[in-house]
């Protein structure tokens, strides 16, 4: 399985709930005043226009406001971009799921669903790459969002306890995470739900330990994954790059398989081959590769 993803800033979709008017949703969310909502409604009625088109004509709402309200009608939450409670600009799938950069990830999601998760019966998959800066964490984060958007109960684990990124991408505190879980100082509730209407949970790396490889190599990590298997439909694990340490091989072996990420014009063929060989030496099944356009 080979997929090309262009990185730049299935189940049927839920039925649209037309009982909630766009204006009511936007007033409820504080994006529109009741007075302005009434003005838009009068203008729309007088000119035979839809509410959203009338609001844009009057310049009382933006297209982003309209998209947000429609997403609410479809029970398809759009997360805030930046600010308190928002996600990083890099998690495009969360705030702009119709972006062209996300479409290849939907194709990847479908391929993984049909060829890995369904056929193998397994739920966990390590996301790895030969080196840093190849888009591994970006793909892991956005791919996790796309799984949650089709109703899969999804867990994203940041197992890079050397240079973690998922807490930054989802703007989470990193004081407690995987490192605490593996040392018995936290429970599985450490995983954070990102949005009440989105079945996406993120387990950050936590405080960086002096012995990440030893922690990941302990039997407790396998037990943790087994417990999560009972709670989630999909588990994606972000790992350190393969050429830096043996952490990725350990995580991928525990997960049962790996997805290899490479970046066009950055990843060297020799490094990619070496990474694949190192995974093969420990019995890891590399089920596919993704070429990130960067």
pLDDT in tens, 129-155: 998 888 999 999 999 999 999 999 999
> Domain for residue 33, yes or no?
yes
The pLDDT of residue 254 is: 94
Same domain, 183 and 64: no
Residue with tokens 């996790």: 144
> Domain for residue 249, yes or no?
yes
In this predicted structure, the answer to whether residue 68 has a pLDDT above a threshold of 80 is no
Number of domains present in the structure of the chain: 2
- Determine the average pLDDT of the residues in 203-217: 95
Same domain, 203 and 165: yes
- Record the pTM: 0.81
Domain span at residue 102?
2-8+83-292
> Domain for residue 212, yes or no?
yes
Same domain, 220 and 135: yes
Same domain, 282 and 146: yes
Per-residue pLDDT tens digits for 50-66: 999 999 999 999 988 88
> Domain for residue 67, yes or no?
yes
In this predicted structure, the answer to whether residue 189 has a pLDDT above a threshold of 90 is no
The pLDDT of residue 18 is: 47
The pLDDT of residue 1 is: 63
The pLDDT of residue 87 is: 96
The pLDDT of residue 150 is: 92
> Domain for residue 78, yes or no?
no
Same domain, 87 and 224: yes
Same domain, 63 and 91: no
- Determine the average pLDDT of the residues in 258-271: 84
The pLDDT of residue 83 is: 81
Neighbours of 217 (CB within 10 A): 17
Here the CATH number for the domain that contains residue 229 is 3.40.50.300
- Determine the average pLDDT of the residues in 258-283: 87
**Please, what's the largest Cα pairwise distance for the chain?**
71
Neighbours of 236 (CB within 10 A): 25
Same domain, 107 and 35: no
Same domain, 224 and 182: yes
Same domain, 60 and 105: no
> Domain for residue 152, yes or no?
yes
Same domain, 62 and 89: no
- Domain end point (choices 55, 73, 91): 73
Same domain, 112 and 37: no
> Domain for residue 65, yes or no?
yes
> Domain for residue 164, yes or no?
yes
Compare 18 and 3 and report the one with higher pLDDT.
3
The pLDDT of residue 205 is: 97
Same domain, 158 and 243: yes
Per-residue pLDDT tens digits for 9-41: 444 344 444 446 888 888 988 889 999 999 999
Model confidence at 2, pLDDT cuts 50, 70, 90, reads low
The pLDDT of residue 70 is: 77
Per-residue pLDDT tens digits for 82-100: 887 889 999 999 999 889 9
In this predicted structure, the answer to whether residue 6 has a pLDDT above a threshold of 80 is no
């Amino acid at each position: 399985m080979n997929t090309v993803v262009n990185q730049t800033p299935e189940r049927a979709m839920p039925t649209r709930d037309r009982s909630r008017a766009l204006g009511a949703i936007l007033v409820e969310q504080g994006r529109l005043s009741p007075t302005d909502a009434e003005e838009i409604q009068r203008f729309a009625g007088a000119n035979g226009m839809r509410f959203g088109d009338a609001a844009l004509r009057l310049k009382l709402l933006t297209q982003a406001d309209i998209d947000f309200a429609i997403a609410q009608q479809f029970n398809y939450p759009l997360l805030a971009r930046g600010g308190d409670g928002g996600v990083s600009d890099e998690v495009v799938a969360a705030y702009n799921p119709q972006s062209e950069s996300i479409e290849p990830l939907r194709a990847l999601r479908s391929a993984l669903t049909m060829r890995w998760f369904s056929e193998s019966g397994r739920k966990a998959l390590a996301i790895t790459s030969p080196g840093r800066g190849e888009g591994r964490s970006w793909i892991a984060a956005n791919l996790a969002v796309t799984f949650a958007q089709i109703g899969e109960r999804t867990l994203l684990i940041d197992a890079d306890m050397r240079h973690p990124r998922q807490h930054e991408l989802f703007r989470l505190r990193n004081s407690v995470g995987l490192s605490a879980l593996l040392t018995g100082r936290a429970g599985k509730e450490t995983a954070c739900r990102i949005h009440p209407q989105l079945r996406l949970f993120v387990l950050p790396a936590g405080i960086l330990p002096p012995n990440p490889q030893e922690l990941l190599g302990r039997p407790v990590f396998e037990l943790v994954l087994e417990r999560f298997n009972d709670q989630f439909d999909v588990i994606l694990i972000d790992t350190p790059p393969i050429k830096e340490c043996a952490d990725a091989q350990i995580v991928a072996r525990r997960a049962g398989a790996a997805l290899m990420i490479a970046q066009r014009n950055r990843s060297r063929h020799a490094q990619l081959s070496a990474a694949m060989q190192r995974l093969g030496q420990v019995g890891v099944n590399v089920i596919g590769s993704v070429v990130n356009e960067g």
